[in-house]
Amino acid sequence: MQRDSVRQNCALCGSHAPSWLPGPISTQNHGFATLRMSICGQTSLERSGAVVLQMMPPDHGITNQAQDQPSITTTDPISMYSDREYVIHDSCLLFLEKTVHSSSFPLRRLYEVLASLPYSEIYQTVDWGRDHGMRDVENECGYDPWLVRLSPDPEHPLRPYSTFDPLRSPQVDELLSNSAMGRSEIVPGESSRLNTEIITIGNGHINSSDRFLRLPTEICCLITQYLPTTDVANIRLVSRAFRSSFDHQSFWASRFHQFHERSWLFEALDKKDRLDWRRLYDLTRYASIDKHLKNRRRIWDLVPMILGTLQLRWHGSLDRTAPMDADHSLSMIARCHKQRPGFDIREVSRIHLLHKVPVPTRLSQIRVSFTQLGDAKYVCGFTFWRVDDPPCHMGYESHDQECVNLECFDGIILTTTKRGVRAVRFLSHSTTPWLGQTGGFTSYSKLSTERGVKLIEGAFDGCKMISLAISEVEADT
């Protein structure tokens, strides 16, 4: 069937789904309990139509439902409940795939994350907690100020280029052609022997405090390739060992590698001709690129945060499905949101998985993992490090972690919002520092015991902790 999705926005970039499409999206309707993800765009990506993910029992696989569907499949059971279809531009999905170092794209994880985010019926898109590169809108319709949404104002100065296909810019070939002129590695006239050069200061003594001067030039060049350009500009003012950093083509070439400021022009890395990377860097300044590339840069800046949520590692089982409630048999429960008049569950995150673990009796350290959504960090899991045994994990594990050293704890204090847990501190003989973001929040939940914590259970959506429950150590009889 043909489904008119004019009023739907891309779940990744926030722009209108058919912005650069010739017509409506082809998809299939499998009923209320169907999980649907439509991928729309040009056929040159060999991915026309829609991907349909249908809710199946755990012992069944999930495959595409028609021959004209894209060649994306998943054999893992979907454990997220949703009646919503998420539309994604093929261009936006390609950008995300380019940053995933895996043989297959984690499509199931992407759907679980999307289904975990609040959905705006007004703006027809999920809320990542950021503005998609556009202006924040005024608080309206009862939404909390921290819910940043896409501006609906058609006169906004950033709006025009958000409708241009970021993959098909006629300027790309022109930029690469104008930069394919060749250039020596070092600008003529600049010295490359900084490691053997004697640097003196006003009174004629050797500047022994500049330890970088003892390094070979090649090492200094390699260091700069891992730093942002602004940091390299600053370090050139601090140490003369980096004076010639901007004269090396290898440095400017690194600006086009992953997560540097020109990585969005990935065609440059595929170019077989020798490029003048410094010239290409200058030609791709924001004021010089066309609207297609401006839109690409806007979308590309959103990718790292989305990628971080996809790479979270889950340590519990996946045999329970949402919707679900936390275990009320546990003695003390803290929730991030409660039912209220006019409450709409679509405004907040929904519980997806539960994970209950026993608290080790002899601890050495507790690590708290965080995930980033917009400008906010959320707690996504705990790791309890035991004295003599392997660590015990609860929930997700990420690279962004904070830790506290303690032997035991009697309770937990949480900073909560409707979206999830933002910060925690543990109660022991002395209260530990906050782990996470606490600024500007007044909603706290305190879970405390007299004899120590025996069990701890977290409720999670697709990327973060939603609520927490604990049970007390039983009294001796």
Distance between CA atoms of residues 43 and 152, nearest Å: 29
| Pairing mode of beta strands 34-40, 51-54 | antiparallel
pLDDT of 197: 36
Among residues 270, 300, 330, the one where a domain terminates is 300
Which residues on adjacent β-strands are paired with residue 368?
Answer: 382, 402
- pLDDT over threshold 80, residue 413: yes
pLDDT of 402: 95
Encode burial over 385-404: b for 16+ CB neighbours within 10 A, e otherwise.
Answer: beeeeebbbbbbbbeeebeb
Among residues 267, 300, 333, the one where a domain terminates is 300
CA distances from 38 to 116, 125, 257 (A): 17, 13, 30
Domain match, 281 and 322 both: no
Domain match, 13 and 123 both: yes
Domain match, 13 and 94 both: yes
Dump pLDDT digits (tens) for 243-260. Answer: 989 998 999 999 999 879
CA distances from 209 to 192, 368, 415, 433 (A): 21, 38, 45, 36
CATH for 338: 2.100.10.30
Confidence of residue 443 (pLDDT cuts 50, 70, 90): confident
Domain match, 95 and 182 both: no
What's the total number of domains in the chain? 3
Number of Cβ within 10 Å of residue 26's Cβ equals 16
Would 342 be classed as within a structural domain? Answer: yes
Would 163 be classed as within a structural domain? Answer: no
Domain match, 1 and 147 both: yes
Full residue range of the structural domain in which residue 53 is found: 1-153
Dump pLDDT digits (tens) for 141-178. Answer: 333 333 344 444 444 444 567 778 888 899 999 999 99
Would 164 be classed as within a structural domain? Answer: no
Would 280 be classed as within a structural domain? Answer: yes
Q: What is the CA radius of gyration of the chain?
A: 26
Domain match, 50 and 127 both: yes
Would 161 be classed as within a structural domain? Answer: no
Domain match, 263 and 370 both: no
- pLDDT over threshold 90, residue 232: yes
Alpha helices in 326-459 (DSSP H): none
Dump pLDDT digits (tens) for 274-326. Answer: 899 999 999 999 889 998 999 899 888 888 888 889 889 998 765 444 334 44
Residue reference for tokens 């980033």: 372
Which residues on adjacent β-strands are paired with residue 2?
Answer: 26
Structure tokens, 424: 């925690």
Domain match, 288 and 244 both: yes
Confidence of residue 55 (pLDDT cuts 50, 70, 90): very low
Which residues on adjacent β-strands are paired with residue 85?
Answer: 36
